[in-house]
Amino acid sequence: MSHIFPRHTKQLPPVAVRGEGCYLYDGTGKQYLDASGGAAVSCLGHGDRTVIDAVKAQLDQLAYAHTGFLTSEPAETLADLLIAHAPGDLDRVYLVSGGSEAMESALKLARQYFVEKGETKRGRLIARKQSYHGNTMGALSAGGNAWRRAQFGPLLIDMSHIDPCYEYRLRHDGETLEDYGLRAANLLEEELLRVGPENVMAFAAEPVVGATAGALTPAPGYFKRIREICDQYGILLILDEVMCGMGRTGSLFACEQDGVAPDILCIAKGLGAGYQPIGAMLCSREIYQTIENGSGFFQHGHTYLGHPTAAAAGVAVVNSMLDRQLIPRVKTQGAKLMAALQAQFGQHPNVGDIRGRGLFQGVELVADRDTKAPFDPSRKIAAKIKKAAFEGGMICYPMSGTIDGQTGDHVLLAPPFIISDDQIDELVAKLSGAIETALAN
């Protein structure tokens, strides 16, 4: 009898015992192709000796030191490494244990920044519908997914949510991609004017939306217009790259491909590649100096901030991406994956959209391709795909509620950067089988 509190008490999972490359193995010896890297985490695959050896070496030297008293060499090295490659004016790194912590830290820093500037009315966040920013209360409040928010509503902070940049469903007939991107971005200005710009501290968004919308990419020019609006009204731009960052979309930081730099940026998942729990919040020099020249104290903290062993893993992971040329490989293999998905599903009557960047791709399922009508939620298409894929020896990331938190289904794919051509073929074949099994039920 297990005493673990599982994610779902009626769906007890098998025991994972081993990982190698793009595969995981359970206690019966069954092999699973990890087509989603767990939750877009295992970017280097499983069993990477470089990272494992780095973690072991750090444990031999120093496992833990509390940042209230001491810093550590791996934490300093990781911060230097990230800032050396970070976009814009990002200059400081706050190391945490995961994505939700990174976003919670970002929200608190944004608020304290304006308090220390004397702009104490600025406390409101604007984010987007169908976003996901984490499961702690602040991060959940920022997220715009109705299903995740519903039962916790009385506990959540009041925040604004505008429509996402969702070209497949929200672009008008005859509207160019660029015109749609501009219209979608201008919703931020409309909301700012509605609630009063003087009350708003930041706008938060995922450059490529992950779990809740299935690798939803922005229209051309969308984020450049968002950046202009943030600058015009003096609010901060917080970009959540917890899922889409760290090489996943084909650049170390996802926002690089949109030609913008945020004031605060959050990363996790691929930063540790699953070898240690780690995340980070990066902020601009100006934000840091405002705190430094004010109270000097960021009124926030967690026990495992800057954990030396986790930081050592992060250093090894980022260096591995850079030294092994894995980020260019993401573009190459991502193009092959997209081509394979298009070949298999491009004319499928129940596939409405195939989208994404790099090795971060999504397939949106529909009941009717012509009208884009979603399946009735009662059919539980995403759950059936997940089950069928798992039974067939593949882990992928299907979700329901793609459109509004209630309706719509998609499958998110985020395989390790080391995926081979043969494994791409295996992925697409197994996904096709899972989708057909789900549609037949």
pLDDT in tens, 246-290: 999 999 999 999 999 999 999 999 999 999 999 999 999 999 999
Q: 143: which 2 tokens? A: 């997220």
**Global pTM?**
0.97
Q: What is the pLDDT of residue 241?
A: 98
3-to-12, 15, 17, 27, 210 alpha-carbon distances in Å: 12, 14, 18, 18, 31
Q: What is the pLDDT of residue 185?
A: 98
- For 52-83, how does the pLDDT look when each residue is reduced to its tens digit (9 = 90+)? 999 999 999 999 999 999 999 999 999 999 99
Q: What is the pLDDT of residue 121?
A: 98
Mean pLDDT of the chain: 97
Res. 20: pLDDT tops 90: yes
Mean pLDDT of 178-185: 98
Cβ atoms within 10 Å of 285's Cβ, excluding its own: 14
Q: 160: which 2 tokens? A: 């604004």
Using CA atoms, how far apart are residues 411 and 4, in angstroms rounded to an integer? 28
Mean pLDDT of 155-182: 97
Q: What is the pLDDT of residue 11?
A: 87
CB of 397 within 8 A of CB of 403?
Answer: no
Using CA atoms, how far apart are residues 88 and 428, in angstroms rounded to an integer? 37
What percent of the chain has pLDDT above 90?
98
The residue to which tokens 């209230």 are assigned: 68
- For 364-386, how does the pLDDT look when each residue is reduced to its tens digit (9 = 90+)? 999 999 999 999 999 999 999 99
CB of 361 within 8 A of CB of 354?
Answer: yes
389-to-27, 197, 306, 339, 399 alpha-carbon distances in Å: 18, 47, 37, 21, 13
Mean pLDDT of 295-324: 97
Which among 229, 159, 219 is positioned nearest to 195, based on CA atoms? 159
Res. 1: pLDDT tops 90: no
Confidence of residue 139 (pLDDT cuts 50, 70, 90): very high
* Degrees, nearest 5: CA angle 302-308-314: 100
